[in-house]
Amino acid sequence: LLSTPLNPLQHDYTQAMQRSGGMLLKLLNDALDLARIEAGRLELEPSPFDPRQLLSEVAQLEQGLAHAKGLRFVLEMSDDLPAQWLGDALRIKQVLLNLANNALKFTEHGEVILRARRSADGLLCSISDTGPGISEASQARLFQRFEQADSPQRRVGSGLGLAICRELVDMMGGSIELESQLGHGSTFHVHMPLAEPAVAMPVDEFASGRHYRLLLVEDDPIVATVICGLLEREGHKVKHVGNGLAALGELAHAPFDAALLDLDLPGVDGFQIARLIRQREHAGQHLPLLAVTARSGNGDEAKARESGMDGFLRKPVSGEQLITALARVVPGTVASEELPA
């Protein structure tokens, strides 16, 4: 909706809806993460990632909030960061976004700086702000669950973010430290041990101008409309069907560059559809399959890959996440035939 023509009032309303939805999603994810941690079911999923790209994405996501508050958000990266590290990029980004969001939330004037440099065994980040600072009494309990420092922004959030950051960093074998003084701002130091992959994997980037012909298998019409809209906005052609049997019918009559499969479909689920697609492929054929699911279990991604899927995304997804995931699974050669009407 925000990418369509809107008058100023409609634009403000739509942004308010987006912020409210984002806050609700964050509260829900915090509660789910805490439940998984307590149950011992939260597992890290390390894979090669580009630290510079990750840090740039964090900075890009924070620029909007900084601009809205009239603040500067600065990213400083040292030159010695490696091309790739081995770690759970999603959880690393979660920690840095949480700390950066907090810094922006409690800062009214000045700037927030995210600094990143290489340590002896991994990544050392610091997030500094020019906010009011945190008293020693509040510092002592800040990383406890449901605790927040006294401030006008106290009601914004659950008080779980910093506790989850500490849990995640502990799982990585790292540490979080806080330096703060009332009236002089705050700095969080995060140390995360990371190994370099034995063989550097090529970084797969989306090349602008590549337009895909995609099959979306999704039974929820609202979710389907959102995903179709995000993909079509990038110039891709999307054919939507609501169940697995219809998907098999489409694949029998028209070529596609990739298929996006919901896992919980009526009748035949996404895992079974993926297996059937693989069974029907001839030698040399391989349709890229991307799972797009609301499931949150740790074993779902492994199960999806065992069934023959090439990629995995959890809802809700952004347009950027969809495009990045597709770029990782779709080969460079894109078919040129038009989708059937």
Q: What is the pLDDT of residues 222-237, one digit of tens each?
A: 889 989 988 998 889 9
Quick: pLDDT tens for 116-125. 999 999 999 9
Instruction: State residue 198's pLDDT score.
Output: 72
The answer to the question of residue 180 being in a domain is yes
Task: Read off the tokens for 54.
Answer: 């990750």
The pLDDT value recorded for residue 175 is 92
CA distance 236 to 50: 27
Q: How many domains does the chain have?
A: 2
pLDDT the model gives residue 153: 42
186, 55: one domain? yes
Q: What is the CATH number of the domain that holds 223?
A: 3.40.50.2300
In a domain, 313, yes or no: yes
Percent of the chain with pLDDT over 70: 87
Q: Do 114 and 85 sit in the same domain of this protein? A: yes
Three-state SS for 186? strand
- Report whether pLDDT(28) > 90: no
Rounded Cα distance between 45 and 41, Å, is: 12
278 and 237 assigned to the same domain: yes
Closest to 139 (Cα-Cα) out of 173, 182, 94: 182
Q: Average pLDDT over the chain, rounded to whole?
A: 83
Q: Does the pLDDT of residue 212 top 70, yes or no?
A: yes
Domain span at residue 179 reads 43-193
Pairwise CA distance, residues 80 & 290, whole Å: 35
Domain end point (choices 126, 158, 193):
193
Enumerate residues 6+ apart whose C-beta is below 8 A from 286. none
List the alpha helices (DSSP H) in the chain: 8-39, 51-68, 89-106, 136-141, 161-171, 221-233, 244-253, 270-280, 300-306, 319-329
Which of 97-106, 133-142, 297-306, 317-326 has the largest mean confidence?
97-106
The rounded distance, in Å, linking the Cα atoms of 49 and 172 is 15
Please tell me the predicted confidence (pLDDT) of residue 114. Answer: 96
Of 142, 158, 193, which marks where a domain is finished?
A: 193
Please report, in angstroms and rounded to a whole number, the separation of the first and last CA atoms in the chain. 25
Least confident of 50-54, 163-167, 254-258: 163-167
How much is the pTM? 0.58
Could you tell me if 95 and 184 lie in one domain? yes
Question: Model confidence at 199, in pLDDT bands (50, 70, 90)?
Answer: low
Say yes or no: 228 and 184 in one domain: no
Are residue 186 and residue 217 in the same domain, yes or no?
no
